[in-house]
Structure 1
Amino acid sequence: MEQDRPSVLDLRRSAQVWQRVAPGMEPFPAADNTAVPAMAPQTTAESSTAAAPTPRQESSPTPQAPSAGTYPAPANLPGAVMDPCCMGSAAADLLGVITGFVDECLTQCRQLNLLARQGPAWARQKLRQTAAAEEAHAKRLMAVYYLITGTCYHPAICQPCPQQGGWCAALREQYHLAACTALNFARAADGTSDACLSRLFSDLSQREYQTAETLTALLERSLQC
């Protein structure tokens, strides 16, 4: 019995011999005498698949929401236009009219100041106030010119005309000048699509009519008919 039982040494030697004969087979098969491969040999395709690293999937970048305090580009803001709603291109079409009004108001201012120095004492204060109002009209118009163009308007310096034909004739001349200026302001207000400029012209028209009324009141007191 002991001779039929293989020793450990014999099993080890048999395994070494078996590895040389059939290295892919189990040296000691199962009970059903079916040889079971110790390890199935890998094919070339399987080995290349196993060796190749798993490709890294690149996901598309997720758009991030703007953080607090971030604003869109100025071009995307509502109302972001190159031409403003007031004192823009519509007002620029009347630059020649505006400068003409400036020159006219300054001419009235100089002539009224001269008339105040030459007229009777009781009319001087009223004439100086009227001249100051005309100067204020010119300054408002020059401010409008700057709003439209970004540059200053420098009116030509003209000397006032001396009084011609007496006191009453001078008042008459100044009245017609103020009344015509008022009418021209009203026409300019109706002729522009710029809302701010139209409002300004309308206001100056009313003020020029007030100047005309002031001169009429002075003429009423001066007439000796």
Structure 2
Amino acid sequence: MNMNDSMNDVKIMSDIMRMPDEDSMDEDMRRFMADGYIMGKTCFGSDSTQYADRLMEFVNDEFSDYLYYIQLSKRAPTQSARRIFRQFSEDEIGHARRFAAAYFLITGKRYFPTRNSVEPVVVPPLYIQALRQRYLAESRDAVKYRLFSQHTRDLCLKKIAVDTSEDERKHAQKLMELLQTV
């Protein structure tokens, strides 16, 4: 390999590694970049700082839901229900981490709550009331995230919100099934 070949290889790699100008991209390329969470103007860009406070709320809400399901899993009457609530708690902490990562990518600041920094979680003493409370909360959250996805211009936040909304909808459905067995 001679010097010219080496220089050409470096230029080709440089062209590949350079982010495309988003203004020159078609809609398909923008969606591709958002699906892969590739940062740019329409994915965790500086225009998305307007969503920072909302993302912190989402992190706090999901973290509180995580704490709730941890408590509920200890009080569930069956092994199957305990397993479901442990899975829900893992889902909720995953949502909190995803929103926290988005917050960091947008602001450059780390944020994640602790047990002491969120409102105390109170699980009703009656199991059936706890199921009702969670069904209503999961249903509201599914709608909340879907509405957020419809109003954000950030394609990556839109994807996170849609995915989270779908998870919350599935949780509500599973809670409905549990309510039918009590």
Q: Same fold by TM-score, threshold 0.5 exceeded? A: yes
Which protein is bigger by CA-based radius of gyration? 1
Deviation per CA, 1:21-74, whole angstroms, max 9, x where unpaired?
xxxxxxxxxxxxxxxxxxxxxxxxxxxxxxxxxxxxxxxxxxxxxxx6798xxx
Measured in 2, the distance between the counterparts of 1:192 and 1:163 equals: 33
Aligned residues of 1:114 and 1:160 also touching (Cα < 8 A) = no
Does residue 194 (structure 1) correspond to residue 151 (structure 2)? The answer is no
Measured in 2, the distance between the counterparts of 1:126 and 1:80 equals: 42
Give the 5 Å matches for 1:25-44: none
SS of structure 2 residue aligned to 1:204: helix
Does residue 98 (structure 1) correspond to residue 55 (structure 2)? The answer is yes
Aligned CA-pair RMSD:
2.3
What's the offset of the Cα at 1:163?
Answer: 2.8
SS of structure 1 residue aligned to 2:84: helix
Partner of 1:184: 144
Partner of 1:211: 171
Give the 5 Å matches for 1:100-139: 100-122=57-79, 123-139=81-97
Measured in 1, the distance between the counterparts of 2:131 and 2:99 equals: 25
Instruction: Indicate the structure whose relative CO is greater, using CA pairs within 8 Å and at least 6 residues apart.
Output: 2
SS of structure 1 residue aligned to 2:147: helix
Aligned residues of 1:111 and 1:161 also touching (Cα < 8 A) = yes
Distance 1:129 1:80, change over 3 A: closer
Does residue 79 (structure 1) correspond to residue 21 (structure 2)? The answer is yes
Percent of aligned pairs sharing the same letter: 28
TM-score by length of 2: 0.73
TM-score by length of 1: 0.60
SS of structure 1 residue aligned to 2:153: coil
Q: Which runs of 5+ in 2 are unaligned?
A: 1-6, 12-18, 24-39
Aligned residues of 1:111 and 1:160 also touching (Cα < 8 A) = no
SS of structure 2 residue aligned to 1:94: helix
Measured in 2, the distance between the counterparts of 1:199 and 1:164 equals: 33
What's the offset of the Cα at 1:115?
Answer: 0.8
Distance 1:194 1:125, change over 3 A: same
Partner of 2:27: none
Aligned residues of 1:90 and 1:192 also touching (Cα < 8 A) = no
Normalized per residue, the structure richer in helix is: 2
What's the offset of the Cα at 1:165?
Answer: 4.5
Q: Which runs of 5+ in 1 are unaligned?
A: 1-67, 72-76
AA at the equivalent of 2:137: L
